Structure 1
Amino acid sequence: MNLIEYPDREMLAMSVANVLAGELRKSLAVQDHASFALPGGTTPGPIFEMMSAVEMDWSRVHVMLTDERWVDEENAHSNARLVKNTLLTGFGAQAQFIPYYRDGLSAAEGAAEVAPTLKDELPLSLLLLGMGADMHTASLFPNAQGLGEAMANDAPLLCAVQPVDQDMLRVTLPLHVLTGALSTHLVIFGDDKRAAVERAQSLPPEEAPIGAVLANATVHWAA
């Protein structure tokens, strides 16, 4: 794990946006397309907005989510909605977005339908992750229903999970897809999350899923 500290969150957003845009350009220089998996939530919003203003061949960038709540894109809880309103604007509007939600299907049915379509996107060119205070990443939540299947080496490329004490079903990229990314970055804020990342390295992955992806990750932190 490589940890980079920033004096404030604005500086972190600017720097990470530049780093990610640079890595996408490098991928496009040697590949037909670059696959970019990213999280939802409010933390990466400013990073995505800055990236959308960067000029590159966005038409060859394939954007997908690390995980998604099983709701349509009009729902305020939709990660796809956030990404479309931040990254997929400006120059970024030319990128190809890969949606997960399938109207009329359950999360398990939708995941099974989408999973085979992700094969050509692997290995991920670039992976951006977030982390919860419970040390989950993507939708790999400790003790979630479906966690064991999603962390298996032969897991399908998209898995349905049900976090404990949450009514909303989710789908997530499995652990082997996350660990197989060519470049991995994690963005966290606050002393509590920094302490959680450090603690996760000594815990079993079932208790702290983020720990399973830290070995080759660059962690970007600001208070």
Structure 2
Amino acid sequence: MDYNSFEHTTFDSLEQFEDDACFYILKIANESIAAKQSFNLVLCGGGTPKNIYAKLANIVTDWSKWHIFFGDERCLPFDHSERNSVMVEECLISKSSIPHKQVHFIEGELGNIAAANEYDSLLNAVEDFDLVLLGFGEDGHTASLFPGHEWDNSKNAVAVFDAPKPPSERVSLTPSRLSRTKNILFLITGKNKVDAFKQWQTKNDLPVSDISALNEKKIYTFNVV
């Protein structure tokens, strides 16, 4: 989706960036639970959302209605510190009351092909997401969709080979499945993202350009100048 179709908010402080992200997640959660008694949320990995997830664990909500999914995962042992699942478990899952059976991890320890096939099958039975959170790398990647790579966009999830940053093997949701969401929020921080972010704004030739949402499309940035 063209950058100009997104609502872009720039924050003056990291605390404000994180607090507003939490507020927005809670807003969509409340709306979704009121409308259909469930909230389907896709989480992103990386360093940017860690404090957001930690703050989110302290909100007042009906955790029994939350269903957690992952935009991507690194193919590493299940307890490896670089796994997205480990970070989310430590920051959010273990400190909230989300039922563990409603946290749908990508089992990267199975290897990228097996894990992608399993998650693809799981998502066949899942309705559209209510909110997708995505990051943005200094090379312009999002989830584990890297510039210059190709993927089968008819799938929900795909195996990733030869990622330009370790580990080389990963699993990622596809742009088509990430776009099956009512709302989407990109969380972007850091001066090292400036060049890639300008590329998104001007050329629309990055993987993010293939991702959209049915309703609200937002970008939050801090220190990307």
Fold match, TM over 0.5?
yes
1:193 maps to amino acid = K
Mapped partners of 2:77, 2:65: distance in 1: 25
User: What amino acid maps onto 1:31 in structure 2?
Assistant: K
| TM superposition shift of 1:83 | 0.4
Q: Which amino acid aligns with 1:61?
A: W
2:118 aligns to what? 113
Q: 2: CA distance between counterparts of 1:102 and 1:131?
A: 21
1:194/1:213 CA distance change after superposition, 3 Å: farther
Correspondence 1:187 to 2:193: no
Q: How does 1:1-223 map to 2 (within 5 A)?
A: 1-94=6-99, 96-101=102-107, 103=109, 105-144=110-149, 147-149=150-152, 152=153, 154=154, 156-162=155-161, 163-164=163-164, 166-203=166-203, 205=205, 208-213=206-211, 217-223=217-223
Counterpart residue identity of residue 28, structure 1: I
Secondary structure of 1:183's aligned partner:
strand
8 Å contact from structure 2 (residues 73, 108) kept in 1: no
- Asked if structure 2 preserves the Cα contact closer than 8 Å seen for 1:187 and 1:221, the reply is yes
What is the deviation of 1:195? 4.7
* Equivalences, count: 214
Over the matched positions of the two proteins, sequence identity in percent amounts to 23
Alignment root-mean-square deviation, CA: 2.0
Q: Would the aligned equivalents of 1:188 and 1:194 in 2 still touch at CA under 8 Å?
A: no
Q: CA, structure 1 residues 201+122, in 2 after alignment: closer, same or farther (shift >3 Å)? A: farther
Gaps of 5+ in 1: none
Question: Over residues 55-86 of structure 1, what are the superposed CA-to-partner deviations in whole Å (9 max), with x where a residue is unaligned?
Answer: 21111111011000012331011100000111
Change (3 A) 1:4 1:50: same
CA distance in 1, matches of 2:58, 2:169: 33
Q: Which amino acid aligns with 2:53?
A: F
- On the 8 A contact 1:194/1:221 being kept in 2, the answer is no
Q: Distance in 2 between matches of 1:72 and 1:32?
A: 34
Contact kept, 8 Å, 1:62 with 1:97, in 2: the verdict is: yes
Q: 1:102 to 1:38 in 2, by over 3 A?
A: closer
Q: Provide closer, same or farther for how the CA distance between residues 94 and 80 of structure 1 changes in structure 2, counting only shifts above 3 A.
A: same
Structure 2 unpaired stretches of 5+: 1-5
* Alpha-carbon distance in 1 for matches of 2:19, 2:74: 28
Query: 1:199, CA displacement in angstroms?
Result: 1.9
Contact (CA 8 Å) 2:41, 2:66: kept in 1 or not?
yes
Which piece of structure 1 moves more, 94-103 or 116-125? 94-103
How many angstroms apart in 2 are the aligned matches of 1:188 and 1:109? 31
Q: Distance in 2 between matches of 1:35 and 1:48?
A: 15
TM-score, normalised by the number of residues in structure 2: 0.87
Quote how far apart the aligned CAs of 1:186 are.
0.5
Specify the code of the residue in structure 1 equivalent to 2:114: E
